[in-house]
Every structure is written in structure tokens, then in C-alpha cells.
Amino acid sequence: MKKLYSIEVINDCTNTIYLPADASIPSNLKRAAFGTMKVEAFIAVQKFGGNVIRISEDLIQALKIPPTLPILHVFYDKDVLYIGPLVGIFTSGFSSVEVKPIGERTIIFSKLLAVQNTAGVTAFLFGAQHIDWDKGTINGLFYHDGWKRFEVPFPDVIYDRIPNRRTESLPKIKKVKYRLQQEYMIPWYNPGFFNKLDIYERLLQENSIADFLPETLPFTSFSVVERMLSNYGHIYIKPKNGSLGKGIYQVIYNKKDENYYTRFKEPGGEKRLLKFDTLEKLIQHITAKTNINNLLVQQGIHLMRSEKKPIDFRVHTNKNKQGKWEVTAIAAKIAGAGSATTHMNSGGIVKSIDELLDVDKDKEQLKEKLINSALRISKTLEKYTEGTIGEIGFDIGVDRKGRVWLFEANSKPGRSIFKHSSLKKDDLLTRRMSLEYAIYLYEQSIKKPEDIFK
């Protein structure tokens, strides 16, 4: 296990770094690096214990190590001692309000940055407007006894937290991403948002994963809907790039009264159930409100139930500091009354699997099935996706016969499930590991850059 080091400032020397007696370093180290800043330095081992790095004050300033004096890792390669990683969290939507510098998302980022010392990284937020390209520095936003700004070098690794597709497509955002990756060779993880249909088609190429996939097709014609409804009894019509359950219609054919029903939620939050005597009228109602080219049709699954309501599962996976996938959270989501989905904003309820008292299944076996499925899908998805993925949020269903189904994969998973009291430890773990993965990318970029920049 890699050691974590705290930093101590020393004033009785200049341009010097001392490592503790048990540090195993070569004798030829002549430079020190923090972020993309490298400076000449005298580097030696001293006879003192503890996980402490002693750095002269002038070197602290030259390397632009922030006054927070973070707890970090140490690596070396050739004649350079690397102290880090310095992780830049790239986002948008900054506010001029000091106590809420990222608006409504401030609390999310404060919680994320609160675990940086435990993870062993120095993390800060920045946007396109905070970069000084001439100096090679960023006016970063740090969270340490409140929000503070410090000038730091370009980071070792960048964690992408752009909030939506619209912002991601802006020319200035694309330019920042291109320059930092291509000109400065900085590893960048969790870029982009998954397209539901694109993910489906990629995973379908793997026979071992195809069994997890409900039939999903672009909404090309009325006949597609008619055929799938005949085959499955109920289907879902949803946006290709939707999130949070918005714009999803459940379509049901009732054989007894020979009518068609659709269940959905209005933009204002009201749940609706409408009846139509023909499928044509139902489809006209849906397509009158949205562009047919933005829709897909998905097979309905008869899910296992709890409290007489359908349930599915949110499963989070994260890459750890060894670059391996781990399942970091599992939550059961029980559909709200009259809701087409299990999303919390549609009245869904979150519980841990152990709290599902009326589920007639072996809970440990159920957990194992979800874990194995999520890990297999994560590894496969990584093969067919451009860029470096560090975390995924899956919506997974289990039908009444125990078969596992993948409904959605999210590259920037929401965190609403972690409001549930029994998931507090999972909340902490997912936050910590989303930063710890940067350690792996940092070390690889130093020692095996060819594996990162393929």
C-alpha cells in the first residue's frame, strides 16, 4: 500500500526537500514536481520518522503548493521527485456568491473535496475562465475551512464534472479539453455523457453481455412500437439522452378492455395515466410533445416487487487506485405510486437490499448477482468507449424469474440515493474512490505514459 505524506514547511534552508529515513529513493534526484511545475531542488533523506515531507518555504512557493499543505503521495522517475497528484476538477456554472461558488451544486463539490486528504490527493475546482495559459497556472477553487482561491500549476490529472451535454458542446469547453490533453498531455477521466442507444449497440457486440440487454430500438416507425408492444405487453418510450427519468412514457396494452394506456410525469411533476382506444392516438399524444428522432423504444420487464411495487437497483462502480473496477454502492429503488419509473423525483423510495423485508429471494445471492453483472458490464463498456472512464452508475433490474437486465448506464451518475441513511458509508466510499483513481492515472502518466496516451 502506498504511503501518504503530510507536508511540513522548514525555514532554516532553501531549495530543499527532506524525506523521512524509511523513504526509498535513488540518489540522483535533482528536480521536484508538483502538477506541471518542475524546479531544481536538493533532495535527500534525513534521520527522522513519520510520514512527513519537509520542504523549504521558498520551494513551496516556487512549486505553488497551496497553503492548505495537503496530504499526498510521492513517486520518482529518472531525476524527478513527483509530489501529488494535483487533481483539477473541471466544471462550469460558477457563481459570484462566495459561500455558494458553484450555485446549487456547491454542497456536492464541498463533500467531494472533503475526502481529498483521505484519498491522498490535492483537489480543486476550475472552469475555462480560471486558466492563465501564458503562465501555465490556474486560479483554482479550494475547499479548506470554507472556499478559497489559490494559484496552482496545471494539474497532473483532470476529473471531468461538466454538468450537461449542452455545456460540454460549447466551443470554449472543447478548446480547453483539447489543449490540456493534447498540448500538455494531462490524463482526463470521465469525459462525455453516454448515449443510451449507442451504449446498447456497443454492448450488444459482446455475447456475454447481450443477455443483460432488453430489446432497445430507435423510434423509427409506428410498426416498431406495435410489434414490441405485442411481444412484451408493455414498453417504455424514452429520450436517447435523457436523465432523472424525465420524458419517459410507459405504454401498456390491456387485453381485457382492449385499450392502450400510457403512464408518465408532466414537466411540472404531476403524474398522469391516460387511456386511448387506439395505439395511433397514444403515439400521436407522445410525439406531439417531442421530436421522434430523439426517442427510443425499450422492452418492458416484469420486475421483482417489494411492497407490491416494481423495484430496480442503482449500482455504482468505480476504478480504484490500482485501476481496477469495484462495486462501491448498491441501492434498491421502489417505484412511487402511479409512477412509470423508480426515480426519486417521481416518488420512488430508496432502501438497502437488507431492508427489503418482503422480497422472497436470498439477499446475499441477489447482491452477488448484481455485483458480478455490474463488474462484467463495466469492463465491457470500457472496451467500447472512447476516453478514460473512472465511474459508472447502472440502473439494473431483476425480473420475477431472477434474470438480470441492464436499463441504463450513466457516466456521471447522480447522487440522490445517498440521502438514504443506510448508504452513508457508500456515499463516502464513492466520493473517495472517484478521487483515488487519479492516483493510478498519475503514476501511469509518470512511469508508463504510453498506456495512458494511446
Contact 150, 137 (CB under 8 A): no
The segment with the largest mean pLDDT, out of 68-77, 279-288, 436-445, is 436-445
The whole-number pLDDT of residue 405 equals 95
In the prediction, which pLDDT does 110 show? Answer: 96
Residues 205 and 353 in one domain: yes
Parent domain of 51: 6-84
On whether both 162 and 207 belong to a single domain, the answer is no
454 within a domain of the structure (yes/no): no
Residues 108 and 173 in one domain: yes
The domain that holds 67 is classified in CATH as 2.40.40
For residue 143, being part of any structural domain is answered with yes
Residue 344: pLDDT over 60: no
pLDDT of residue 202: 86
- Please tell me whether residues 208 and 356 are part of one structural domain: yes
315 and 431 in a single domain? The answer is yes
* Residue 322 and residue 416 in one domain: yes
Q: Which of 317, 321, 324, 345 is nearest to 333 (CA)?
A: 345
Kindly state whether residues 351 and 374 are assigned to the same domain.
yes
- The DSSP call for residue 155 is P
Helices 279-287 and 222-232, axial angle in degrees (round to 10): 120
Largest CA distance in the chain: 88
For residue 170, what is the enclosing H or E element? none
Q: Which of 269, 299, 329 is the last residue of a domain?
A: 299
Sheet of 234-239, strand order: 216-218, 295-299, 234-239, 249-254, 259-265, 271-276
C-alpha–C-alpha distance, residues 161 and 193, integer Å: 10
Same domain, 411 and 328: yes
Domain boundary among 265, 299, 333: 299
Flag whether 107 is in a domain.
yes
In the chain, how many domains are there?
4
Q: How far apart are CA 449 and CA 184, in angstroms?
A: 13
Among 274, 299, 324, where does a domain finish?
Answer: 299
pTM, whole model, 2 decimals?
0.90
Contacts of 338 (CB under 8 A, 6+ apart): 263, 271, 273, 347
Q: Do residues 40 and 105 share a domain?
A: no
Confidence of residue 132 (pLDDT cuts 50, 70, 90): very high
134 and 174 share one domain: yes
Q: What is the pLDDT of residue 39?
A: 97
Residue 447: inside a domain = no
On whether residue 333 sits in a domain, the answer given is: yes
Residue 362 has pLDDT above 90, yes or no: no
For residues 256 and 131, state if they share a domain. no
Residue 77, in any domain of the structure = yes
Any domain includes 400: yes
Summarize the confidence of residues 139-148 as an average pLDDT.
94
